[in-house]
A and B are shown apart, each in its own frame.
With several copies, the nearest count.
Chain A
């Protein structure tokens, strides 16, 4: 074991898979010689050369479509979107093309494509460079969606995503890039299966389910709730948004009887509401109190530090939501 940054873990997964399978190649803006705006792809150009590490023009719809085409004939492209927000200039190629090809053709073709990049707020990038995208990607069947929080899960899930025969959105978070965590030594394969959640903290009073960066805020909130109120929160890391591991989730709620889903994408038609709807569909008897969700406030993220803190579903807001749900208990 050793500790690395989240960035390093992603970089390793790409490098190892590119060594393992020559069909894997990388495309995106500044991903080559510069090593990526956030330096996630550093040194890959040096090792694999310009054939397999391609600096593109600012033509997302074009290169996303080309990646889809290459995947249709057996390549395994990894496309970096510099900011996940830019999915909006290539939405057709992602949702109408890559995600649907397998189904529309009755299974005649596959699209083993990885779309990766960072999303999220907290660094004052404002409305067009901070929105979380997992709930939008989850609306289109045919594409898998993962949003790991730790370096270990990031590396393990990216390896799985690259080997998966479907388009996979691999969602990073700008607040996680320099966080550190344990990773098996180089050489040891790290694989985390897509579609498996992970209990990151045991507890009995309430199940707090989250993923990506807000999971860290959830864990911090859980610690403070323990210290300040003796409340014992179980924190489940969804890790994969599509497919959703309801089994792990319901097992936790069976213990706690209470569920709060937290995510940074919009509440409206978000994954939190989806989780609430699912449990009432599939296992309402597990709940001792109404299941709840907490998402981003219904605004596009403002730039000012003070305004950003106000609307993000972070520790302060998570604690408030939990206390509201446990009032009867706490009281």
Chain B
């Protein structure tokens, strides 16, 4: 299944215009660094999972990085964000320390939640990261509620929430879309459409082909974009944020992307062929961004240096996390109720 982002879709009726180059080489180079960091952190986590050091459900975002990097550049650092169990990339893009992130996934004392939350519950209020969620769809009303809070307090802050295309038919999504549109809340609904819901392609369970068209039913501004092109994502989210801050209400963005790794560590991946995955590698976010940088005259040497730096940083972070002590068992009994 090729990435189905036709020009006519990008210039769709929705009030969003995607132009060519809008980011400076400096910005793009910085994005490259962050994207490569996310990629390497996720790959390292997969290795740790394969070696049995990570239990439970560990979902990586390898192939999804475009949405996170574009978002971080487009929003204010204090804008609210919620996301799914597949949320490492959003958190790292917003500046979460890889050391504490990896330590949390390993269940260590230096994890941001002392090992209580783990891979599915990334959060850092200081960075506007208001929580990843293990329940499909559950984080979406949270973001709408944060947008409501901002609206009531007149903060000018907006909220963005990320979810997969498979989440569309969880009832709470529908309830939240309607209320958010009716109350014209400053919230952005970003669907990372990677074409699979666990092991099931969306086409098997959805009555609509183009997810973004569905949001139009609520009268919501809605577009479909190439989620693997950070420049496209950046523009779509920037414009949606502008509308939201101007009181024009929510925007639904369907970012077409592809999950290059399994749904979670240990996924047998019997539901797709190696050829399908290979074909997608030609247009994955890191490839798209690298090509863009080289086209714009950035030297491969510059990128190579960045990769070397990042490798070192990630290796250090993994070591830090592995050497981090286990939490004191007493920690298991704290934080049940807030004071």
Instruction: Decide if B149 touches A73 in the complex (CB within 8 Å).
Output: yes
Complex: chain A residue closest to B150, CB-CB? A73
Task: List residues 39-75 of chain A with CB under 8 A from any CB of chain B.
Answer: 51-52, 54-59, 61-75
Task: Say whether A103 contacts B146, CB under 8 Å.
Answer: no
A223 at the interface (CB under 8 A from B): no
Chain A residues numbered 272-291 whose CB sits less than 8 Å from any CB in chain B: none
Q: Pick the contact of B197 from A33, A57, A125, A144 — CB < 8 Å?
A: A57
Q: Which of A3-11, A86-94, A248-256 forms contacts with chain B?
A: A86-94
**A328 contacts the other chain (Cβ, under 8 Å)?**
no
Given contacts A69-B149, A126-B118, A128-B135, contact A63 B179 (CB under 8 A): yes
With A and B bound together, what is the CA distance between A229 and B288 in angstroms? 67
Q: Which of A107-115, A148-156, A230-238, A319-327 contacts B (4 or more CB under 8 A)?
A: A107-115
A65–B123 alpha-carbon span in the complex (Å): 17
Interface string of A288-319 (1 = CB under 8 A from B): 00000000011100111111011100000000
Decide if B200 touches A105 in the complex (CB within 8 Å). Answer: no
For chain B, residues 110 to 149, give those with C-beta under 8 angstroms from any C-beta of chain A.
111-121, 123-125, 130-131, 133-138, 140-146, 148-149
**A174 to chain B: closest CB distance in Å?**
10
In the assembled complex, A104 has its CB within 8 A of some CB on chain B:
yes
| Chain B, interface residues (CB within 8 Å), range | 35 or more
Known contacts A62-B171, A65-B172, A126-B121; A34/B200 CB under 8 A: yes
B339: interface (CB < 8 Å) = yes
Quote the shortest CB–CB distance from A291 to chain B (angstroms).
25
In the complex, the chain A residue whose C-beta lies closest to that of B171 is A61
B57 touches A67 (CB 8 A): no
- In the bound assembly, the distance between CA atoms of A127 and B117 in angstroms comes to 8
Within the complex, what minimum Cβ distance (angstroms) separates B218 from chain A?
Answer: 12
A115 CB to closest chain B CB (Å) equals: 14
Known contacts A92-B138, A126-B117; A106 and B112 CB within 8 A of each other: yes
Check: A29 CB closer than 8 A to any chain B CB.
yes
For residue B147, which residue of chain A has the nearest CB?
A69
CA distance in complex: A306, B141 (Å)? 33
CB of A191, distance to nearest CB on chain B (Å):
17
**Closest Cβ of chain A: how far from B71's Cβ, in Å?**
18
Segment at the interface with A among B224-232, B248-256, B313-321, B326-334: B326-334
Map CB proximity to B onto A93-107 as digits: 1 under 8 Å, 0 otherwise: 100110001111111
What's the count of A-B pairs with C-beta under 8 Å? 268
Known A57-B206, A72-B146, A126-B118; judge A30-B113 contact (CB<8 A).
no
- Distance between Cα atoms of A77 and B113 in the complex (Å): 25
Q: How far is the CB of B90 from chain A (nearest CB, A)?
A: 16
A114 to chain B, nearest CB (A): 14
Residues of chain A contacted by B82 (CB below 8 angstroms): 69
Q: Which of B69-111 contact A (CB under 8 A)?
A: 80, 82, 107-108, 111
A63-B175, A72-B131 known; A102 vs B336 contact (CB < 8 Å): yes
Residue A165 at the B interface, CB < 8 A? yes
Q: Which residues of B contact A56 (CB under 8 A)?
A: 179, 205
Asked if A65 contacts B140 (CB within 8 A), the reply is: yes
**Alpha-carbon separation in the docked complex, A35 to B146 (Å):** 25
Contact A66 to B179, CB < 8 A, known contacts A103-B335, A109-B123: yes
Q: In the complex, what residues of A have CB within 8 A of residue B285's CB?
A: none
- Do residues B146 and A62 form an inter-chain contact, with CB atoms below 8 A? no
Look across to chain B and name the residue whose beta carbon is closest to the beta carbon of A34.
Answer: B199
- A109: which of B56, B131, B143 is its contact (CB, 8 Å)? B131
- A304 CB contacts on chain B under 8 angstroms: 107-108, 111, 114-116, 118, 326-327
Partner of A306, one of B112, B144, B146, B327: B327
B204: A residues at CB distance < 8 A: 55
Q: Is the CB of A306 within 8 A of B271?
A: no
Asked whether A59 lies within 8 Å of B145 as measured between CB atoms, the reply is no
Stretch from B6-14, B18-26, B31-39, B162-170 contacting the other chain: B162-170
Please name all residues of chain A whose beta carbon is closer than 8 Å to the beta carbon of B156 when the two chains form the complex.
Answer: none
Q: A189 to chain B: closest CB distance in Å?
A: 21
Identify B141's interface contact among A68, A73, A96, CB under 8 A.
A68
> Complex: how many Å from CA A86 to CA B337?
23
Contact B338 A107 (CB under 8 A): yes
A85, A96, A126, A129 — which one has the most chain B CB atoms within 10 A of its CB? A126
> Using Cβ atoms and an 8 Å threshold, which residues of chain B touch A52?
152
* A66:B170 contact, CB within 8 angstroms: no
Which residues of chain A have C-beta atoms less than 8 A from B112's C-beta?
106, 108
> Cβ of B171 and Cβ of A303 under 8 Å apart?
no
Docked complex Cα distance between A129 and B169 (Å): 20
B238 is an interface residue with CB less than 8 A from chain A: no
Give Cα distance in the complex from A83 to B119, angstroms.
Answer: 17
Which of A34, A141, A307, A310 has the largest number of chain B CB atoms within 10 A? Answer: A307
Given A57-B175, A86-B135, A102-B335, check contact A29 B198 (CB 8 Å): yes
Expressed in whole angstroms, the minimum distance between the Cβ of B95 and any Cβ of chain A is 15
* CB-CB under 8 A for A30 and B200, given A109-B130, A303-B107: yes
- Inter-subunit contact B333/A297 (CB<8 Å): yes
Per a CB cutoff under 8 Å, which of A61, A72, A102, A125 touches B145?
Answer: A72
Chain A, Cβ-Cβ closest to B145 = A69
Q: Within the complex, what minimum Cβ distance (angstroms) separates B246 from chain A?
A: 18
Check: B239 CB closer than 8 A to any chain A CB.
no
Query: How far does the alpha carbon of A303 sit from the alpha carbon of B53 in the complex, in Å?
Result: 12
Known: A62-B144, A63-B179. 7 other contacts (CB 8 A): A25-B152, A61-B172, A62-B176, A70-B145, A75-B152, A104-B121, A304-B108
A-B contact pairs, 7 of them (CB 8 A): A58-B167, A62-B171, A65-B142, A77-B145, A142-B336, A297-B333, A303-B115
Contact residues of A with B, CB < 8 Å? 25, 29-30, 33-34, 37, 51-52, 54-59, 61-75, 77, 85-86, 88-89, 92-93, 96-97, 101-110, 112, 123-129, 141-142, 144, 165-166, 297-299, 302-307, 309-311
